Amino acid sequence: MPAAVSLQNVHKVYGDRYVVNDLSFAIRPGEIFGLLGPNGAGKSTTIRMLTTLTRPTQGEISVAGFDVVRQPYGVKQQIGVVLQQTSVDLDLTVWENMEFHGRMHHIPDSIRPTEIDRGLDYVELGDRRNDLVKTLSGGMKRRLQIARALLHRPKILFLDEPTVGLDPQTRRRLWEIIRGLNQQGMTMLLTTHYMEEVEFLCDRIGIMDSGKLIELGTLNELRRKHGEGLVMKQAGDRWEYQFFSTLLEAKAYLEHQPDKTGMMIRPSNLEDIFVELTGRGLD
């Protein structure tokens, strides 16, 4: 089965600076793919290329079978985009935002109201259809952005930090919506600064740094590769981390230490692996 998204030897250069450098990966149909990286890693530029907003300097990108350079209109018909910034019109009502988007995508008059109702009901905003968007909470605005992105029934959804700034309860509700869409067959690319979000949602994970893809795999594959057990040792006001293949090996190592003060063991997680690879946290 052809990839839903494919990048082959993609470069993006501004002046003499490589923002994306020889990037290659593919997203399978029906997959939630998490793209991680510290600020400046090239994630946003990659998404801009995938969504036809920026042309690659070199390399090939296809989305839903369409080339992003030669067939941008075909790409736009097949994708939905949810940005971290509020991108709905605050001075229009919920319904008017959806209506405008539907007209922009040439959804026929005969089915557009039904499709709008379907989308708003799915994100639990049917009872707020006549409210001005400026009166909605942050979580409601984000749910409206999702409903709007789904209105033309895209095959692939790009989610750029969709839950940033939201409270934990609202974030979990959005996770449920995202998981539900995926269970219906929606392919997604997700960027986020929340490690637990990636662990909960994503089938596979790609980690970028300095414009390059430095790691790719499932969470279990990454943990097996880098170590499933971790020994932590407090050194002043910092913690030192040492990976072990298994938690049992980490435990055995700790038991043989003559001085266990300030030491502990635990299973490794995605954040541990991310910091080990990039040398710094996401922020």
> What is the number of helices (H) and of strands (E) in the chain?
10, 13
Q: What is the pLDDT of residue 280?
A: 58
| pLDDT (tens digit per residue) in 108-145 | 999 999 999 999 999 999 999 999 999 999 999 999 99
3-state helix, strand, coil in the chain (%, to 5): 35, 30, 35
| pLDDT (tens digit per residue) in 1-51 | 789 999 999 999 999 999 999 999 999 999 999 999 998 899 999 999 999
pTM above 0.75, yes or no: yes
Topology of the domain covering 5-217:
Rossmann fold (3.40.50)
Phi then psi dihedrals of residue 184, to 5 deg: -85, 0
For residue 237, name the pLDDT band (cuts at 50, 70, 90): confident
Q: Which class for 1: exposed (0-12), middle (13-18), buried (19 or more C-beta within 10 A)?
A: exposed
Is the Cβ–Cβ distance between 221 and 189 less than 8 Å? no
Q: Which two tokens stand for residue 187?
A: 């392919």
For CATH 3.40.50.300, list the domain ranges present in the chain.
Answer: 5-217
For residue 282, name the pLDDT band (cuts at 50, 70, 90): very low
DSSP state of 71: -
Q: Which two tokens stand for residue 109?
A: 């008059």
- Determine the Cα–Cα distance for residues 73 and 177; give it in Å rounded to an integer: 27
Is the Cβ–Cβ distance between 24 and 9 less than 8 Å? yes
H-run or E-run covering 146: helix 138-150
Q: What is the pLDDT of residue 58?
A: 97
Q: What is the pLDDT of residue 37?
A: 94
Q: What is the pLDDT of residue 266?
A: 96
| pLDDT exceeds cutoff 70 at 226 | yes
| pLDDT exceeds cutoff 50 at 195 | yes
